[in-house]
Structure 1
Amino acid sequence: MTSAHQAAPAFVRLASHPLRWRLLTELATSDLRVRELAALTGEPQNLVSYHLRLLRDEGFVVATRSSFDGRDSYYHLDVNRCADGLAGTGAALHPALRLAPAPQAPLPVEPVAVLFVCTGNSARSPAAEALLRHHTAGRVAAHSAGTRPRPCLHPHTVRALRDRYGVDLSHKRPTDLNTLTGHRFDYVITLCDKARETCPEFIDQPRRMHWSIPDPAAAGGSGPDGYPAFLRSTADIESRIRCLLPMLVPTVTKENPR
């Protein structure tokens, strides 16, 4: 028989449910815990957990154990898996609906200011800052800082950015978050579960986001065996940076110039 009798693709079947679509849209901007998703949706926590499990089973949502409180898990939207699912949905309906890459939208004239925060500002947040600068040719005002900055960047961070992206961080030094609390930012993004809990408020109430990314230094230290963890971490950050770029475009220009 024809494909009309085939089951609906997983993405459309799952995303068509109102609560699951709400969960996907909430996770599209920030990693969140179950109780936070329950509060945002106004639904019981056990119901939210059930629908998250269905999304996890198809790989559209990923869970990582919190490095701040091991009893908690952060849920993260796998944007690439969702893109594949959406593309497959169109192709399953009709060949003419295969998705083509969307044109890259221009960045706003006034630079958007983004601050990345982790604990030591030695691995995750400086990598995010460097990669955002790299992908926007400096047209975004990218910064990073740590709640308890280390004396210097982790050598594997410097090596991973140089080897994989050709970015030189050898002269960068960690920054104390306390020195930036009076600055204006459009986005403040925490990459560390511990930093999320201690990150202060900023003037003008920037958009707050969280990326729950494990500390690569915890996987093997400075020895050779620890380097692959930094490659995985920077790859995860780079993927998230690419997903962040379209969100920076519609930022409303402030009335007062920077």
Structure 2
Amino acid sequence: MTSTRQAVPPFVHLAAHPLRWQLLTALSDSDYRVRELVARVGEPQNLVSYHLRLLRNGGLVTATRSSHDGRDSYYHLDLDRSVEMLAGAGKVLHPALRMTPAPIAFEPSAPLAVLFVCTGNSARSAIAEELLRLRTDGRVEVFSAGSNPKPAMHTDTVRVLREEYGIDLSGRVPRRLETLADQHFDAVITLCDKAREVCPEFGADPRWIHWSIPDPAAAHGSDEDIYPRFQATAAEIDIRIHYLLPNLTKRTVR
């Protein structure tokens, strides 16, 4: 009987290593810097960096330079890419194992409150607040605020939410983070590397999640150059919210 050798599917090859699996598991919940991943997995930095490089080369993990400290990078798990690669691995094993992602079911058993934080509260956190409210049909009490809020919403924030998602931000102004100091939150999500460093502690031990997303308004250019960056930022936030929803019902403190 002749046996046929098949190459190991990329997802299996990448994820099967115990340390790489630990890194993927950590990054499935939040973006982290290398030193934070070192602390979480309890392995030397050179070893963690080596396996992160393999995950990046394999397309599962991406890295962005910190907007707060340009010497640092945040690592992010590409969950859409993970779904594609995992589905491909199933097909290689057996044709009947083709995977179709199931729709996200979101039925919180108790009221949930979520806070999104960035620096100016005029772009990223405001977009995240509105998209989470939209995707949960208002079943989550959601807020956004800035550590150093702008005087008004960025015009392209208003535009992208109106044109791409049908959301009207008329009359909304950025909120100062300190005004929510006494509020209870189940999850606090920072979208700005600088805001992550200065975000105050909140009572009742909320889950802390970081999304390292560049400020679409920070780069210079014409209005026509800037708006596509807002579209891309809103799309990325919407994808992250899609994968956040199942985790919102997990009350485990991280």
Asked whether the 8 Å contact 2:14–2:58 carries over to 1, the reply is: no
Q: What amino acid maps onto 1:28 in structure 2?
A: S
Instruction: Note closer, same or farther for the CA distance 1:93–1:77 as it changes in structure 2 (3 Å cut).
Output: same
Q: What is the TM-score normalised by the length of structure 1?
A: 0.94
Whether contact under 8 Å (2:104, 2:245) holds in the other structure is no
Give the structure 2 partner of residue 202 of structure 1.
Answer: 202
SS of equivalent residue, structure 2 residue 217: helix
Q: Which runs of 5+ in 1 are unaligned?
A: 253-258
Structure 2 CA distance for partners of 1:156 and 1:103, relative to 1, 3 Å: closer
Alignment of 1:149-164 (within 5 A): 149-164=149-164
Q: How does 1:100-111 map to 2 (within 5 A)?
A: 100-111=100-111
* Distance in 1, Cα, partners of 2:45 & 2:232: 32
Which runs of structure 2 are paired with 1:1-258 in the superposition (5 Å)? 4-220=4-220, 223-251=223-251
The sequence identity of aligned pairs, in percent, is: 63
With structure 2 as the length reference, what TM-score do the two structures score?
Answer: 0.95
After superposition, the C-alpha distances for 1:190-219 in whole angstroms (9 at most, x for unaligned) are 000000000000010100010000010012
SS in 2 for 1:218: coil
Q: Is the 8 A contact 1:118 1:147 kept in 2?
A: yes
Unmatched runs of 5 consecutive residues or more in structure 2: none
Once the two structures are TM-superposed, the CA of residue 109 in structure 1 deviates from its matched residue by 4.0
C-alpha displacement of 1:167: 1.2
Find the counterpart in structure 2 of residue 256 from structure 1: none
CA-based RMSD: 1.6
CA distance in 2, matches of 1:129, 1:42: 34
The secondary structure found in structure 2 opposite 1:228 is: helix
